[in-house]
Amino acid sequence: MAELFDVALSAHDHAFTKDELKAAVADCDVFVPTVTDEIDADVIAAAGDRLKLIANFGAGVDHIDLAAARAKGIMVSNTPGVFTEDTADMTMALILSVPRRLAEGEKLMRSGQWAGWAPSAMLGHRVGGKLLGIIGMGRIGLAVARRARAFGLSIHYHNRRRLPEAIEEELGASYHASVDTLLRISDVVTIHCPHTAETHEMVSAARIGSMKPTAYLINTARGEIVDEKALIAALQTGRIAGAGLDVYTHEPAVDPALLALDNVVLLPHLGSATIEGREASGEKVIANIRAWCDGHRPQDQVLEGWA
């Protein structure tokens, strides 16, 4: 970026404060935020007249007030697709590690208290043959389905639109128009939809309560899609068997009640944390900015209806 544009760069990983964000957008043509930068209506209102493009570093844009950006004539782009395989890998790792109690086993080894193999020690559950329910069958959901099928899981899914028959046949996937039905029948539920007003706490207390007591919930999408308090209560009481989480409602804060549970694998938002993925995301940001500078629509424009 420095070779192509006149840039002001943050050399640190810390999330900008509201005042820092307002100062950053006040005097630039293009602003490049990440998922931790909350670009709300106040920040957009503070933007100078020069700002015409928010080129987000990452696929998710729930941290950007898209309506406010549209109203002010600011285009928004993102970087979809570059983290698909990385996030699917992490999801599959959680699908395997939670039923097989890998995190508990690792803690036991480090504690120095392992007494050796025993017939009934650290028993988990087999993954093969179980029913996997996928909420959201976009790029990541499809990538997870392909991995899961190789491990012998039965693929079921809920999506806004049903997949073409050819893809369902390829994956052996069964469609459910109702997310409630999917949650009731699944042995493992994994979430791969964006966080929007419609999906906020979509996995509600009632829906968690309808899951099998032997079921596991995996979330590598956004913490706000799940009613976290209800999930904690279900895990504490054994209402469901366990969970694997890479995202949380109030990141970076994690509810102490989650930290105290043994039937949860907790990761620090690692889904996209590969060198290859981050480099590819940066290249997409640059490509989007260059297209805009040349008077074209960025390939990854988020808002629709621009003239």
Supply the pLDDT for residue 304: 55
Q: With bands split at pLDDT 50, 70 and 90, how would you rate the model's confidence at 269? A: very high
Domains of the chain by start residue, with CATH: 18-81+274-293 (3.40.50.720), 84-266 (3.40.50.720)
103 band by pLDDT with thresholds 50, 70 and 90: very high
Query: Contact 155/172 with Cβ under 8 angstroms?
Result: yes
> To the nearest whole number, what is the mean pLDDT of the chain?
95
| Catalytic machinery residues | 222, 251, 269
Predicted structure pTM score: 0.90
Average of per-residue pLDDT across 100-110: 96
> Given this model, what pLDDT does residue 307 score?
31
Q: How confident is the model at residue 15 (pLDDT cuts 50, 70, 90)?
A: confident
Choice among 11-15, 224-228, 273-277 with the minimum mean pLDDT: 11-15
The partner residues of 295 in beta bridges, in order of sequence, read none
- C-alpha Rg value of the chain to the nearest Å: 21
